Amino acid sequence: MTSKPHGILLIDKELEWTSHDVVAKLRGILGTKTIGHTGTLDPLASGLLVILVGEYTRLSNYVLAQEKTYETEVTFGRSTTTDDAEGEIVKMVEMPALNEKALKESLELFNGTISQRPPAYSAISVGGEKLYKKARRGEEVDVPLRQVHVSEISLLEMTAETCRLRIRCSKGTYIRSIARDLGEAMGGAAFCSALRRTAVGEFSVSEALKIGSTAEAHRASLLTGLSAKVGLPPIQLQKQEAMDLSHGKKIGCRADVQIKPGELALAFYGDEIWAIVAEHQGEIIVKRGFGKQV
């Protein structure tokens, strides 16, 4: 009998697949129901999906919190209902050919912490219902602004009416909204005409697997132990420390194991994830265990 798989799987999602489609396919390929993705990609977007399998699903919140990197194409002169190529055109504006200097100046408006209005067609809930459901009924919705952080927005290439950008941003940032607002900043209109996620934290799409590979290839590609770089600093436990944490006991902070107050860390025993831990009054305590025993 094949053991149940555990780990992190990097998938390069193709166009037209939903994130749910990928997870459903992988449930069959890997033979497990304990699996989930860490950040939806729309069918019109391709690129990196970080899939958590088995006990690694407990790391979901920490992967979700990491920065994402995208490459996107923005088309100027038109806006759409969805702020991407899937929606109906709602406005057409005569705009001059793109000027590199003016474009780069406008891009600076989106650097750092910004207030952003998510698209009307999005999965955000307002009044207990997803916005896209309200939008499909033709309801006018006052979409609340949200604060997001853009740590990089750079111009990769441009034509007379399109540009390709690289954007590194915080959780919850809508690239479609940046495209729409960039069009307005340039005195016209724009929409996101292509989108690809290239990185999540330290994970890169260059390391990802296509969904059509064999079950053996998927299992062999699972990242486990110290390869599971989820944004938490790793600490290595000694045998007695691992035993104590397994029984809910606190352990002392060794000179070579330091966790800053208020920060979390990923504790390992050997190459196995043992627990998510935190510093508390000079000691290390378990915030979430993985049910391991020495």
HSE (CB half, 13 Å, CA atoms) of 268? Answer: 14
Mean pLDDT of all residues in 77-105: 93
Among the residue ranges 61-75, 89-103, 245-259, the one predicted with the least confidence is 245-259
Mean pLDDT of all residues in 175-185: 97
> Is residue 223 helix, strand or coil?
strand
Class of 68-200 per CATH? alpha beta
* Residue 129 pLDDT: 63
HSE (CB half, 13 Å, CA atoms) of 109? Answer: 14
Does 135 have pLDDT greater than 60?
A: no
Does 80 have pLDDT greater than 60?
A: yes
Question: Domain residues of the chain, as ranges?
Answer: 7-66+202-227, 68-200, 234-289
For residue range 29-58, what is the model confidence (pLDDT) as tens digits?
Answer: 999 999 999 988 988 999 999 999 999 999
How far apart (Å, rounded) are the C-alpha atoms in residues 276 and 143? 36
* Catalytic residue of the set 12, 42, 84, 244: 42
User: Identical fold at 7-66+202-227 and 68-200?
Assistant: yes
Does 15 have pLDDT greater than 50?
A: yes
Beta carbons of 97 and 219 less than 8 angstroms apart: no
* Residue 133 pLDDT: 65
Give the mean pLDDT of the chain: 89
Does 1 have pLDDT greater than 60?
A: no
pTM of this structure: 0.90
158 forms bridges with which residues in the sheet? 163
- Asked if the 7-66+202-227 domain carries CATH number 3.30.2350.10, the reply is yes
**Known active-site residue 42:** yes
How far apart (Å, rounded) are the C-alpha atoms in residues 59 and 276? 9
CATH for the stretch 234-289: 2.30.130
- Two tokens at 265? 């860390």
* Residue 35 pLDDT: 96
